[in-house]
Each structure stands twice: as C-alpha cells, then as structure tokens.
Structure 1
Amino acid sequence: MKTFRRIHTTLFIIGLVATLILVSGCQATATTQPTTPPEGAQATTTPQPTTPLKKPQELTIGLGRNLYYGPKKWYFLHGSLAVWEPLVILDNDMIAQPVLATSWEMNEDGTVWTFHLREGVKFHDGTPFNADAVILNVPKLQEEYMTTLPNLDSLEKVDDYTVRFIMKEPTPNLPQLIAYFSSAMISPQALGEDGRPTAPIGTGPFKFVEYIEDDSIILERNDDYWGGPAKLERVIFKYIPDATTRLAALQTGEIDAIADVGSLQPEQASIVEQNPDLVLLQQGVATTHYLTFNCGKPPFDDVRLRQAVSMVIDRQGLVDNTLYGFGEPGVSVITPRAKQWVRTDVAPRYDPQAAKALAEEVLDGERVEAKLILHSGLLGRWPYENISQILQAAAAELGIDIKIETLEGGAWNEALKAGDYNLTMMPYTLMTGDPDFFMGRWVWSEGDLNQRRSYGYANERADELVIAAISEMDQAVRKEYYDELQAIVAEEVPFTPLYHEVTIYATRKNVKDLRLDVQFKPSLDKAYIE
C-alpha cells in the first residue's frame, strides 16, 4: 500500500528550523520526528476546493459497530471520530508521526524520553492544551485502556510545552507505545466530581454534539481547529448492525459511506462495483484474524493436534473464495503492515496429508469432540460463520468433530475467561505497530489476553524473549528476539493467523477524499461532498 502525504513547503521549512534549534541545544540521543502529519493524522492546514462548495457539507457514515463508549471509557468515543487527538499516530508504514507532540528525543540509555508539544492548541471548551493535560491523561489511559507503558515511573513537566517520560527500564519504542488511543487527550476541565471525564472534549477537527442511543453519533465542525477548519460542517456516524441493511442504506442514499473495518462484506463488493453511483475502495489495515486454541485442556493440549488443524486450513483458498480476494493469507502472528518486524518464512503451510498423519498419531483411529465458539457481534462484520463451517468439514477428516456455538458478546467473553471452549476466532489490531503489543499480551505466559482468554499457553524460552525484547535498545537484536518468537509460535501453534485484513469500504460518487488509513481511521478533515 502506498502512503500519500500532503507536504506544505512553508510548514516544512518552519519544522526544519525548529528541529535544527532543538538538536543544537540538546545532548540527548536525538530521534526528532517531522512536523508534517501523515495520512490519517490531522493536517496542519486543510486545502479548500478551488471553487466554493455548493452542496450541504453533511456526511453520514454507516458502521457495523457502535463507536460511542460513554463514560465507561476515559476517551468516550473511538478515535475514528476525530474529536480527540493523540500525541502521536502511526502512518501507513506503522511509523510514529507527530500530532499534538511535534518532536521527541530520548537519552542515551532510553530511560528518559522528552516530548515537545504543539503550542497554540485549545480544547473545544477553550482550555489550552499543554503539559498539564498530558500529565493528567496518560496515566489514566494506562489504567483504563491498555498498559502499553508497564515501565513508566513518572511524568515530569519541564515547562508548559515539554514533558519528560521517566522510565524504570530502557524503552526503545516509547513513541509507538503511546500512539493513538494510548495518548488520547481530553480537556482537564471536562472532569466531574469523580475525577473522570463527563464529555468527550478534545482538540480535533470535529466536536461532539449528541449521541442517540444505539442509533447515531452527531458531530459538528470545529471552526477553531489548530490545523484549519475541515470542509465538512457536520458528520453523522450511524450504527447499522446488519450488513445487508447497511449496504441498502448506501444504495438508497440514506447514508453517504460505509467506512470502517469489517463494515462492508467481501461478497458485497461486486454489488458496489456494478452501481454507477457508488465507489469501491480498499486499504490494508493492521488487523489480523486468528484461530485460537485452548491449550490448557484436551484435545488441544497436544501440540500435534493444533498443528494438524492449522495444516488442514487452506488460507489461500479462504482469501480467494470466502473473502473474494479481499485479504491476504496469514503468514505470521505479526501483521505484514509492520514490515520491519514481520517474519514471513514461518508462514503456516497447507498440507492435509501431513495433518492426517499427525492426527492419526494422536487419536489412533478414535474421534474427539471440540467446541468452537463465535462472537455474534463479529458475524455481521466478518465471514467467521462461513470460515468455521469450512474448518468444521476439514477437521472432520482428521477425526475431530467440531461443534459450533454462537454466543452474545458478554457470554463469549465469559466462556473464554472460564476456559469453556476449545477453539475460537477473533480479530486483533497491532495498534502500536510494535510486536510487544501482541507478544506481551498473547504469548507471554502472564500476558493479559493469554490469561483472560484462557489460551493456556506457556513456553519458558518465549517468556525470556518477551521480557528481554521490551528493554533491548539494539533494534537489530530486538528483531532477532521477535523473529525467534514468531518461529516458536509457528511451531507450537497456540494460535494461528487465518488472514490479514484488507478492508473494503464504499462511498457514494459525490463523496470526495474520504480514505481510511492503516488503523481504519477516516480522513474526515479532508473529505467533502461535491
């Protein structure tokens, strides 16, 4: 996938001068980043069309999931809504780029990272964005979102626009670890008596207006946005859980776009392509779809049966037939979007004969049962039901009789926690672009998801590698650690990649410049209605 960036000469020169000043006055190991945001970040200026826009600039996007979380989440809304902004975001090559932080550098041993903040930015309530906001938000996000900074010792305010992250151990990849959700900035004045945000008041190009329960989220343009006002005046995210109904709404013009990961089904692509009023688009994203095993109970406590099931899956066939070509066969547990980390020479192979031989070695002619549980909320977004039926037929040839059960989301989570399953399927997005976001949660024996979802996987060497890689400052050595981890997982198969997501999405013909990035964030600041 190619990353397209708008580069403005004036801003580039300003950013270059600022960078030279910073480097000349700093003895730290410099890793100062460019000040031009990537595709997917909010641009510092938003070029307007050459002629005035005549159509009402209101865009309605249909989604297969509800992006409103409310007060149960610190940031209230998904990042796709462009209401709040992070310090750092990843570009389409999964490299950290500046948003509310303009540059950063670390000391020689990677235990202190200094971030320089964008000046002149205000939250939607008029509160200035500064170091105090960072010191408020980051620790709360570590508590409530995901612990991406387990070695964080403290945050230190150097001045109003400079913050130091003091780490307990060397942290070579801190900008990646605080990308996107992990550094979502909410106004300090939005906090209620309980110390939690009462509304999603951010710094983004759009302001939150209203949430209509289980129906829609309404946003309006932030005319005072630090990067210049967007072209769209109003954006509505409409929750339409049924895939057929979503597409019908696009066809009739009830909505203007279907733009989110998993919101347009592969089999619907041809319908869009045949409609002259619609445009089909696609984007490789950082999401991988996995088949996971409960390694802590029979029959998949035997690695040979896990290997057999993996080898009986025709991943290329899944992509070609079930996904209609919109996907990539699983090659590693690390997404190929993280090009600098993925190892492709350990890709699972399709070998039904070898699979049968392994199964026979274990079962000796007997048959075993296995329960595969599916999350009902995922079935309207991805073809897990079809894939599970294909797997069921293939496993039967091995002597494994799979019973498929579909559970509501809460029951699915409870079943995983209790270990009441043998197999399941799920998506996972490498949100930080760093392998530890997967290895530290899935592979490490004490990892959050390993324990919470009862994977039951433990490997002493894998544990050593996960811990060592977190603080290894030599990037080549880190790569060796993660290469070995990918080989271990490929051999022991506690989980296996089915396919890597290529998201398809669609707009009506009059919608211009609406694109998704590698983290499926729509370019609301650039889009407009023609």
Structure 2
Amino acid sequence: MRSKLYQIIFLFLFLCCFSVVINFQRDNHALPTSVPVPDKIDLTYALAEPIQTLDPARASNLAEAKVISNIFEGLVRYKPNSTEIEPCLATTWEVDQGGKVWTFHLRQDVKFHDQTPFNAAAVKFSVERQLPPQKKDSMLYGSFTFGMVEAVEVIDDYTVRFVLRSPYAPFIRNLAMPWAAPIISPNSVAKYGDEVGQHPVGTGPFQLAKWDKEGVVLVAFKDYWGNQASFNSLAFSHLSPEQRRTKLQDGTITLCDMDGLKTKDTPDIKLLKQPTASLGYLGLYNNKSPFNNSRVRRAVCIAVNREEISRKLFGSPSLAANSILPPGFLGYNQNLKPYTGGAAKAKAMLKECGYPEGIDITLITYRSSRPYNPLGGEELAELIKEQLAPAGIRVKVKTYPWHEFKTALRNQEGDAFLFGWVGDNLDPDNFLYTLLAADEVTNLTFYKNSEVNRLISAAQKEVDEKIRLRLYYHAQQIMLQDTPMVFLNYAQTNIACRQELTGVEFNLYGIPLLTKAHFKS
C-alpha cells in the first residue's frame, strides 16, 4: 500500500516538473511564427550564382553572402567601402594579454527572428558548432575564422570572451566576415538540424518568408534593433545573363550582378562600379632558373604594361596594381611603385643578367574567368605574351581547366603562372602573410626573405594598427625590390541597377548594402 502511495506521489511530482519544463521552454525557446509573403516585392536582386545554403557556417560563395548579409549579423562589421571595423551585435570590446584575450560586450534587447533572445550563449554556440568535435566537413570557413580560438567563455548574458592560442591581430576582422562569423539562433539549429541552411534565423533587418525554385523572399523584421529599411520586402533569384538583361530593362528586377552581362548607362539603368578586395598577379617561381634571379624577375615587371591590362579587363587603367594590398586596406599606400620602364629597359637588364638573346619561358594559366580576371586566363596570357615579346622574353602559353591548373601549380609546372587572390577577411595579413610567408602553402612563388617574414609575422601579432601599418609598409618596400611576382590589377564589382533606386552602399567584398537604399519619389 505504501509502495503504491509513493508511486502516486512520484508520478504527481514528475508531472509537475514536466509542466514547469515545458512552460519554461515555451517562454525561452519560442518557435518561428509564419511570415506572410507579400503580394508585391519592393526590391528584387538577380544573382549570377546559385544559392545552395543560407547557413553562415556552410556558405562559401558571394551570392550566398549577399543574401546572408541581410538575414544575419556578426559581433562587428565593416564600415561601407572600408576595412575599418565598427560595432554591430557587440557594442564595445577589450583586447588583453597582447592580443590573446578578446572580451566583447553585447548589445542588449536584441531578438532573433524566432523571437528568442540574442545573448552570450548564442555567440558561444555559433562558434563552437564550427570547431571540433562538432565541426562538419561542409563548414568551409570555420577553421579559417575560429581555428585560433582555444576557448569561448560566457562571462554573463551580455559578455563573451574569446581566448586565443596565441596573439592574433586579424581576429577582429574575422568576426566581420559574411561567412562563418554571423550569429545564428541556437533554437533554429535545434529545430532544423542540418537543414537549418534552408531555414535561416538571424538578427538582421530582414527575415526569410519563402525559398523555392523561384528564389528567396525576405521581409523586414519588425523587431529589428537597428534602423528599419525604407522598403518591406526583398527578393533574390539566380538568373542567366540574358534573363538578367531582359528583366532589368523591363523593370521586373531592380538590381543584378554584371557577371557575363554587358550593358551601359541608359535613362532607366545605371552601372554601379565598386573596387573589391582582389588581386590578379603574374607569379614567377623564385626557386628555379631563370627567376631565381631577382633582376630577371624585375625585367619581366618592367616589360609588363599594367595599365593596358587593367583597361582590357575592367575598362579602366585606374585598377592597375601598384603593390600586393588592394586600396582601402590597412597598409595600402598609393605612393608605392613597382619597376617600370618598357621593353628596351627590360631587354637591357636581361643582357646584364647574362641573357643577351633574351629568355624562353612557359607560362601556365587557367581557361575560365576569375573575379580578378573577367577576360579569362588564356586571353590574359596572350596579352602578356604580346607585351613581353619586344623585351626578348619569348612566352609559350600552356592552358588547363581550373582544377587541373591548380594541380599544375602544386607541381611547379612551367616557369611562370597567372593567378590571383580574393580577400577572405579584408585584413592585410590575408594577402601579405598568405602569399609571401616562407612556409605558407599558398606562397606559390616560393619567395623567401627573412626580413619580410619577420615583419609580417610581427604584424600578425600586433594589435596596435598604427604599428601594423608601419610594419606592412616596410615589408612592401622590400618585397617590391625583390619582385617575387608581378602585380597586375585589382578588381571591381559591377552591379546594374534601375535609375530610381538610390543610396546603395557596398563593402569591399562587393556586397551591396541595401538597408539605406530607397526609391526616388
């Protein structure tokens, strides 16, 4: 009898506790409400690439970043058309132990689109899901963004601390990236699991209303903590060049990517051109003849006409590269100058190096176009061949499909190669250290200079940006003398837009920032 009574009491207590837990979960883990799809879309954007996922941890291409930037936010963000950092979901931060410990104070009263609160626990969750042991192979940028993180500590609801394995100054710009860094609702991951990329839930100014074969439809998030956009709905779709041209002209779409599309300013259409964080270059193998001689490398640099290349690629000589860092980057200096002088000067220098009859080289390249080379690898190689010929540099061009080309690079085929770099985190370290550090696998020229190595390694650890700037400027001066590669051009994003839309800003990825955009009355 007593046993039966205990069972009844236990069952009663269990049901009471279960009810408390359920009610707690309802209060603290609200499920997403149904978002109605507007009958009329205010602003439409046609993309040149398809969207595979809207999970920031799994996204990798620029088209996905353009959508994600409207749904999600990170702790910090880039100022428009700049690599400078400004607050976003974090309002302030401190850096201690020489760049090893980063403490962020979070914005309060911020909600995710599913009405759950944004807090330090959500930050910790977003980061740790991209690190071992939780990291999935499909999370492409997690290791780059957070691989230096040793621990993420929740100090209180609105304070989170990152402890790094060693001082790492670029970390702050990692946190502004459109991939990996944006904070996702933990509740959405719990609800949708690996399908969360089709059900994105962030804190941004727009939330998902629909995603089907026609494209993605976003609507303004009414509880957004920041300034509301001037329009209520925004749609993205992937269209062919011909579809983009037709729909832009008839007003069906408002903006579109210009990749593969040729158009010009008209009374209805304007072109928005924005420099981006990209570099195209002619790589020279520094570890084998003839380019193990810096003066031979210098002769190639002298013979190349960068302004002509820039004009052919982008219609403007202003994108000719003068150093390894794109404009707008910390450490960029427009007064830095690579060697110039033309064919006769280059020919004379080769003669001084023991090549009175000139040199014969094989230049390997890719077939397709790239963000830093819309013309295509083979066309650019032929242009460079034509430029080098009067200097006595006879070029044989060998072309590969993209993936085979990368294998040829790893095997050091040929004597020189065409390549480029697209910035990941808009930090100078991502160009200088990535492309020039002696032990980096991305140093495809096999350039080695101990002083440059010392400078860029010191800058990687230095959190004082004034000191970093001096270190990078000094490293570039040495590197330009050594000429490990010939810097050809920077790149730009071209967006076609209806004339009635104004106020579109960009970041240096070439992503349009649309929250301040509005239509002329």
TM-score normalised to structure 2 length: 0.77
2:106 aligns with one of 101, 117, 127? 117
- The answer to whether the Cα contact below 8 Å between 1:94 and 1:433 also exists between their aligned partners in 2 is yes
- Identity %, equivalent residues: 26
Residues 25-77 of structure 1 show CA distances to partners (whole Å, capped at 9, x for unaligned) of xxxxxxxxxxxxxxxxxxxxxxxxxxxxx994432223333454567953477
Structure-2 separation of matches of 1:208 and 1:251: 27
Structure-2 separation of matches of 1:489 and 1:256: 44
| Bigger Rg, structure 1 or 2 | 2
- The answer to whether the Cα contact below 8 Å between 1:83 and 1:204 also exists between their aligned partners in 2 is yes
1:309 aligns with one of 300, 309, 325? 300
After TM superposition, give the deviation of residue 137 of structure 1 in Å. Answer: 2.3
Question: 1:79 maps to what in 2?
Answer: 65
Question: 2:514 maps to what in 1?
Answer: 524
1:290 lines up with 2:284 in the alignment: no
Structure-1 separation of matches of 2:269 and 2:217: 24
Which ranges in structure 2 are unaligned for 5 or more consecutive residues? 1-37
Structure-2 separation of matches of 1:299 and 1:62: 47
Structure-2 separation of matches of 1:75 and 1:65: 13
TM-score normalised to structure 1 length: 0.76
Question: 1:436 maps to what in 2?
Answer: 429
| RMSD of Structure 2 on Structure 1 (CA) | 3.5
Question: 2:25 maps to what in 1?
Answer: none
1:5-44 correspondence to structure 2 within 5 Å: none
Structure-2 separation of matches of 1:466 and 1:387: 31
**Structure 1 residues 190 and 183: CA distance shift in structure 2, 3 A:** same
Alignment: residue pair count:
463
Which secondary structure does the structure 2 equivalent of 1:175 belong to? helix
Structure-2 separation of matches of 1:114 and 1:96: 16
- The answer to whether the Cα contact below 8 Å between 1:313 and 1:394 also exists between their aligned partners in 2 is yes
Residues 299-320 of structure 1 show CA distances to partners (whole Å, capped at 9, x for unaligned) of 5444344322222222223344
Question: 1:203 maps to what in 2?
Answer: 203
- The answer to whether the Cα contact below 8 Å between 2:372 and 2:420 also exists between their aligned partners in 1 is no
**Structure 1 residues 61 and 388: CA distance shift in structure 2, 3 A:** farther
**Structure 1 residues 411 and 187: CA distance shift in structure 2, 3 A:** farther
**Structure 1 residues 135 and 283: CA distance shift in structure 2, 3 A:** same
Which ranges in structure 1 are unaligned for 5 or more consecutive residues? 1-53
- The answer to whether the Cα contact below 8 Å between 1:436 and 1:466 also exists between their aligned partners in 2 is yes
Question: 1:107 maps to what in 2?
Answer: 96
Structure-1 separation of matches of 2:230 and 2:311: 39
Q: Which stretch shifts more, 141-150 or 90-99?
A: 141-150
1:127-526 correspondence to structure 2 within 5 Å: 127-139=116-128, 144-145=140-141, 147-148=144-145, 151-172=148-169, 174-181=171-178, 183-191=181-189, 198-199=196-197, 200-208=200-208, 216-227=215-226, 229-240=228-239, 242=241, 246-259=244-257, 263=259, 268=262, 271-273=263-265, 275-320=266-311, 322-325=313-316, 327-338=318-329, 340-352=330-342, 353-360=344-351, 361=353, 363-365=355-357, 367-374=359-366, 376-378=368-370, 382-385=374-377, 386-397=379-390, 398-405=392-399, 407-408=401-402, 410-420=403-413, 422-450=415-443, 454-526=444-516
Structure-1 separation of matches of 2:169 and 2:129: 22
Residues 106-139 of structure 1 show CA distances to partners (whole Å, capped at 9, x for unaligned) of 2374432211112222223333221112112235
Question: 2:16 maps to what in 1?
Answer: none
Structure-2 separation of matches of 1:229 and 1:159: 29
**Structure 1 residues 342 and 364: CA distance shift in structure 2, 3 A:** same
- The answer to whether the Cα contact below 8 Å between 1:208 and 1:218 also exists between their aligned partners in 2 is yes
After TM superposition, give the deviation of residue 141 of structure 1 in Å. Answer: 5.2
**Structure 1 residues 120 and 283: CA distance shift in structure 2, 3 A:** same
**Structure 1 residues 296 and 241: CA distance shift in structure 2, 3 A:** farther
Which secondary structure does the structure 1 equivalent of 2:319 belong to? strand
**Structure 1 residues 279 and 473: CA distance shift in structure 2, 3 A:** closer
